[in-house]
A and B are shown apart, each in its own frame.
Chain A
Amino acid sequence: MITLRDVRYAWPRAARDVLAIDALDIGAGETVFLHGPSGCGKSTLLSLLAGVLLPREGSVTLAGRCWSELPAAARDRHRADHVGYLFQQFNLLPWLPVIDNVLLGCRFSPARSARAAQRSGSPVAQARTLLQRVGLPQDAWARAARELSVGQQQRVAAARALIGAPEVVIADEPTSALDAALREGFMDVLLGECRAGGSTLVFVSHDERLAARFDRALSLPELNRAAREATA
């Protein structure tokens, strides 16, 4: 599902690469835990996976397409079709009602709208189903996202990332703003929904206690040759 080959990335005007990954393969439906300390390039790697950044050298392939070979508009389209993305926090448009925030996941992708409709009858129906499964009380669905607690907002964000069953869900420390009790519940929902939908999950966190729940755990500093060379 995701293939990296000889990837090199440097920030614009930076002298040294921040990322150098020779090979990484993640299979369809696999759940991968990626950990490493702050500033080791985790978010950069996720941006490369999502096709928002392009590598200086090498290739990042997701769902059969190499990001570097696609023009800008096609990359946005490919991302909308195949990737659900979760931020650490601020995942939602604060002024938009909860249900519309979930539907935002389908907004730029007819393919995901069609898949959502195929599974639940209509995108709106699937948004409702997902909100129910992540455990958001029904009276909150029509409220503006900003009125929700942080824990509730992350659940809505998970529903948004999962709507239309994207092949890949990328999560960038989505639990770091949640306390322990909320974190467990959130992990149950996210992993459960990814497995149910057959989505590949790439989950980044510095909290290694979560690693046991995934199929595979990777350490970014070990994977990243640039980091090894810098410390060597």
Chain B
Amino acid sequence: MTSLPGLAAASAWNRRGTLSLVALSIALATLLLLSFERVRLDVRDNFASAVSGTDLVVGARTGPIQLMLYAVFRLGGATNSIRMDSVRAVEQHRAVAWVVPLSLGDSHRGFPVLGTTTAYFERFRYGEQQPLVLAQGSPFSGDLDGLYGAVLGAEVAQRLGYQLGSSLVLAHGSGTLPGSEHADKPFTVVGILAPTGTPVDRTVHISLQALEAIHLDWSAGVPMKGLSIPAEQARKFDLEPKQVTAALVGLKGRAAVFNVQRFVNEYEGEPLMAVLPGVALDELWTVVGVGEKVLVALSGLVALVSLAGLVATVLAGLNERRRELAVLRAVGAGPRHVLWLLALEGLLVTLAGVMLGVLASAALIGLAGPLVQSAYGIALTLAAPNATQWLLLAGVLAAGVLASLVPGVRAYRLSLADGLAPRS
């Protein structure tokens, strides 16, 4: 025997042409809501896991967000440099356990080049305090023999097809200007890091001395005319770095963090700034939050429009269905059955739309994930819906049922007024 949901499904199937369009638009709204929430969460996760175990980031005075974005995420505009003696002064502070200087600015085929010390490989932590692991090879040696050694992030190696021993040439700046390559001093891959899902994967690591060496014969961003220092000869120069972009600072105990921050901020040698990574990220989310809210509101509006389409479609078809309602009344269906029939139909259409949206969202994240990863360095995860996403899905479904009550109530009134004699 056909149940009421069965009747609703058969009736909806009968009008599958128009209803599937409505279901598609609901699917689109669901897709937007789900995918946006997924991207939002993954972006936050990616940022939050990019650096851990670092108590302070020290750099030139600028906005805390800008310093974090540039020094840790290699995003946004370059900040001013700080002097190496300032970094050493911070290192001398009795509460400081370690300092890892970072020097940015060059690139290799779109990937940022980071000049640092061997301490980077020992001290840097990401995610849940995880250390960097070398998949192949070893860190650059830090002495003059291994001057031109480079350690690649997992994605750099994979995308460019580099292996241990491969040779690469670094470009000055972002590498967009012709003739701005450090072609005379090629580097050799000595190590490849295991994937981390952080900006480290997209980074080429070299020593600070190597960075000095390739810029010996450069001035103000261009090669000096008539001066060329071959790679071998460069070793004889003083390669101690004078300036770096920023430094990661680890403390002996968390308690001293504000103490050290004040020490850095009041440092008299030059204007410096110390940023707590967590605080800077919170500030970033406050800024980004406004945009997120606008996007959520827009997705919500799309959902609203889809549901309005559902109401309009079912209402428009109602007049032609008054005969059906009379037949149902004649076999003993009450007006409340008629109301349920219409509400169930709406629920089925919404449910179909939502399920389609969930599948489409999974497909989108699955397909676009690798592209987003390579273009923006953000790993999108294909996961079961989280609590917020379930809530969004339930919200769309509930709104769909509520919206379906509108034609339901109309049908209820019609079938009461018509009885067994519809006037159409």
Asked if A and B bind, the verdict is yes
Chain A contacts for B329, CB-based, 8 A: 52, 76
Q: Of A98-106, A184-192, A201-209, A224-232, which binds chain B?
A: A98-106
Query: Least Cβ distance of A78 to chain B in Å?
Result: 8
A92 CA to B326 CA, complexed, in Å: 10
- A sample of 20 cross-chain residue pairs with beta-carbon separation below 8 angstroms, ordered by A number, consists of A47-B420, A47-B421, A50-B330, A50-B420, A76-B333, A76-B334, A79-B330, A85-B330, A85-B420, A90-B327, A91-B327, A92-B327, A94-B14, A96-B7, A103-B1, A104-B2, A104-B331, A108-B332, A113-B1, A172-B420
Binding site for A on B (CB under 8 A): 1-2, 7, 10-11, 13-14, 323-324, 326-337, 419-421
Q: Are A160 and B331 in contact (CB under 8 A)?
A: yes
Chain A CB count within 10 A is highest, among B10, B326, B330, B335, for: B330
CB contact between A87 and one of B7, B334, B420 (< 8 Å): that residue: B420
Tell me the dominant secondary structure on chain B's binding face. helix
A53 within 8 A of B: yes
A46 within 8 A of B: yes
CB contact between B332 and one of A81, A96, A124 (< 8 Å): that residue: A81
Given A87-B326, A103-B1, A113-B1; A108-B421 close (CB under 8 Å): no
Which residue of chain B is the closest to A12 with respect to CB atoms? Answer: B417
CB contact between B334 and one of A73, A83, A95 (< 8 Å): that residue: A73
Chain B contacts for A47, CB-based, 8 A: 419-421
Which residue of chain A is the closest to B331 with respect to CB atoms? Answer: A104
A108 CA to B326 CA, complexed, in Å: 14
Query: Least Cβ distance of A130 to chain B in Å?
Result: 15
Chain A contacts for B14, CB-based, 8 A: 94-95
Which residue of chain A is the closest to B337 with respect to CB atoms? Answer: A108
Query: Least Cβ distance of A145 to chain B in Å?
Result: 10
Which A residues, 103 to 128, have Cβ-Cβ distances below 8 Å to chain B?
103-109, 113, 123-124
A73 CA to B336 CA, complexed, in Å: 9
A72 within 8 A of B: yes
Query: Least Cβ distance of A166 to chain B in Å?
Result: 10
Q: Are A100 and B2 in contact (CB under 8 A)?
A: yes
Chain B contacts for A50, CB-based, 8 A: 330, 420
Given A79-B332, A80-B331, A96-B10; A107-B2 close (CB under 8 Å): yes
Interface contact tally, CB-CB below 8 A: 81
CB contact between A108 and one of B323, B324, B331, B420 (< 8 Å): that residue: B331
Chain A contacts for B10, CB-based, 8 A: 93, 95-96, 100
Chain A CB count within 10 A is highest, among B13, B331, B334, B335, for: B331
A176 CA to B10 CA, complexed, in Å: 29
Given A47-B419, A73-B336, A85-B420; A96-B331 close (CB under 8 Å): no
Binding site for B on A (CB under 8 A): 43, 46-47, 50, 52-53, 72-73, 76-77, 79-81, 83, 85, 87, 90-96, 100, 103-109, 113, 123-124, 160, 172
Q: Are A46 and B420 in contact (CB under 8 A)?
A: yes
Chain B contacts for A95, CB-based, 8 A: 10-11, 13-14
Chain B contacts for A94, CB-based, 8 A: 14, 324
A43 CA to B323 CA, complexed, in Å: 15
Q: Are A85 and B334 in contact (CB under 8 A)?
A: no
Chain B contacts for A79, CB-based, 8 A: 330, 332
A38 CA to B118 CA, complexed, in Å: 102
Q: Are A106 and B1 in contact (CB under 8 A)?
A: yes
A106 CA to B3 CA, complexed, in Å: 11
4 nearest CB pairs, A to B: A80-B332, A95-B14, A108-B332, A76-B334
A172 CA to B327 CA, complexed, in Å: 13
* Given A50-B420, A85-B330, A93-B327, 14 further pairs, Cβ under 8 A: A50-B330, A79-B332, A90-B323, A91-B327, A93-B7, A93-B328, A100-B10, A103-B1, A106-B1, A107-B2, A107-B332, A108-B332, A160-B331, A172-B420
Query: Least Cβ distance of B414 to chain A in Å?
Result: 13
Query: Least Cβ distance of A125 to chain B in Å?
Result: 12
A218 CA to B14 CA, complexed, in Å: 42
Chain B contacts for A172, CB-based, 8 A: 420
A105 CA to B333 CA, complexed, in Å: 10
Which residue of chain B is the closest to A160 with respect to CB atoms? Answer: B331
Query: Least Cβ distance of B121 to chain A in Å?
Result: 70
